[in-house]
Structure 1
């Protein structure tokens, strides 16, 4: 089960986040999302747990709990959606993309 965790401290590491969730079952992966330019945490991450039951238990116990000085939000992760890299957004037109032909 894939779990989304937000409002993390910028000092939280993959290891500390995985350790928190390991109290509720087997963690198969733990990943803090970082800014591609600076390498600094963006304040959210993903946990993958081996079973649905363990994941649901972790979500119910950890959502809105305090971790490393912050009240974290824990939810089932939504599937990743395809991003349009052409610069065109079908909802409101051109959005300043980088694939320009001048």
Structure 2
């Protein structure tokens, strides 16, 4: 199960995020999302856990807990909205008369 972790301290690393969730079971991956230009944390990340039961326990236990001085938000990650594509912005609209 993929887990969203928000309100992360900008100092949290992938390894620290992984370690926090390993207390609840096997972590397949842990990634803090960073800005591609500044390489600075965006303050959220994702944790993939091997077993759904472990992930559900981690969500319950970790939500609203403290991680490096910040009260984190933890819930099941939702898939991106597949109907939206960035290239379909206002500049890409064509007028038809």
Output the TM-score relative to the length of structure 2: 0.88
RMSD: 1.7
Q: How much has 1:16 moved relative to structure 2?
A: 0.2
Q: Which has the higher contact order (CA 8 A, sep 6+)?
A: 2
Higher share in helix: 2
Query: Which residue of structure 1 lines up, in the alignment, with residue 23 of structure 2?
Result: 23
Mapping for residues 4-23 of structure 1, pairs under 5 Å: 4-23=4-23
Query: Which residue of structure 2 lines up, in the alignment, with residue 91 of structure 1?
Result: none
Please give the alpha-carbon distance, in whole angstroms, between the structure 2 residues aligned to 1:86 and 1:35. Answer: 19
Q: How much has 1:84 moved relative to structure 2?
A: 1.7
Unaligned stretches of 5+ residues in structure 2: none
Query: Which residue of structure 1 lines up, in the alignment, with residue 50 of structure 2?
Result: 50
Unaligned stretches of 5+ residues in structure 1: 89-93
Query: Which residue of structure 2 lines up, in the alignment, with residue 37 of structure 1?
Result: 37
Q: How many residues align?
A: 93
Runs of 4+ in 1 over 3 A off after TM superposition: none
Please give the alpha-carbon distance, in whole angstroms, between the structure 2 residues aligned to 1:40 and 1:75. Answer: 23
Output the TM-score relative to the length of structure 1: 0.84
Q: Counterpart of 2:87 in 1: which secondary structure?
A: coil
Q: How much has 1:85 moved relative to structure 2?
A: 2.9
